[in-house]
């Protein structure tokens, strides 16, 4: 289930089962395996995004699972390729996963940045990088958890 930009270029492979085979092919795509949106409870899966930026404003995306912040993914040291590994949790049924822009502040020079490392839910309207021309996307996924 690839994502495409306006020019038709693949920018991510979306949601997929995790591939823990250790093969060179699996390593090259960050452990992303077969694309699917249906997972057994406890099964590991991945979300992969290409083209994540390299600055404090666009290199990190916050991850929420059913509206709860569970962490973040960063593409700084991977040439803009971000793969987030998660586990399917919760009752059987549909669960929502969102990736929102975040201000990266896990570096000493950014230690006193207000509102750092929390999802900017209104980034399409008031993200700090908008005035500089940044167009940081938010991604929304729905997965189905089965027994």
- Whether the CB-CB separation of 115 and 128 falls below 8 Å is answered with no
Residue 19 Cα to chain centre, angstroms: 17
Residue 43 has pLDDT above 80, yes or no: yes
Q: What is residue 56's predicted lDDT score, i.e. its pLDDT?
A: 78
pLDDT in tens, 101-112: 888 777 776 667
Q: What is residue 71's predicted lDDT score, i.e. its pLDDT?
A: 92
Q: What is residue 93's predicted lDDT score, i.e. its pLDDT?
A: 98
Choose among 74, 75, 72, 56: nearest CA to 64: 72
Triad 12, 17, 18: Cα angle to 5°: 90
pLDDT in tens, 5-33: 778 877 666 787 777 777 777 767 666 77
Burial class (CB in 10 A: 0-12, 13-18, 19+), 86: buried
Q: What is residue 9's predicted lDDT score, i.e. its pLDDT?
A: 77
The verdict on pTM exceeding 0.85 is no
pLDDT bracket for residue 122 (50, 70, 90): confident
Q: In the CATH scheme, what architecture does the domain 3-146 have?
A: Sandwich (2.60)
**Choice between 14 and 77, residue whose per-residue pLDDT is larger:** 77
**Choice between 46 and 24, residue whose per-residue pLDDT is larger:** 46
Which range of 35-44, 73-82, 109-118 scores highest in mean pLDDT? It is 35-44
Domain borders along the chain are 3-146
């Amino acid at each position: 289930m690839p994502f495409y930009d306006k020019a038709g270029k693949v920018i991510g492979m979306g949601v997929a089962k995790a591939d823990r085979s250790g093969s060179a092919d699996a390593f090259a795509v960050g452990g992303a395996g077969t694309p699917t949106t249906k997972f057994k409870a406890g099964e590991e899966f991945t979300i992969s995004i290409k083209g994540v930026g390299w600055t404090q404003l666009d290199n990190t995306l916050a991850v929420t699972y059913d509206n709860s912040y569970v962490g973040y993914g960063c593409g700084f040291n991977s040439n803009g390729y971000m793969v987030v590994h998660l586990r399917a949790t919760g009752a059987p049924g549909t669960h929502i996963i969102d990736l929102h822009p975040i201000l990266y502040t896990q570096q000493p020079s950014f230690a006193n940045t207000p509102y750092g490392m929390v999802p900017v839910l209104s980034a399409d309207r008031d993200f700090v990088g908008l005035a500089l021309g940044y167009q940081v996307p938010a991604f929304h996924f729905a997965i189905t958890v089965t027994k």
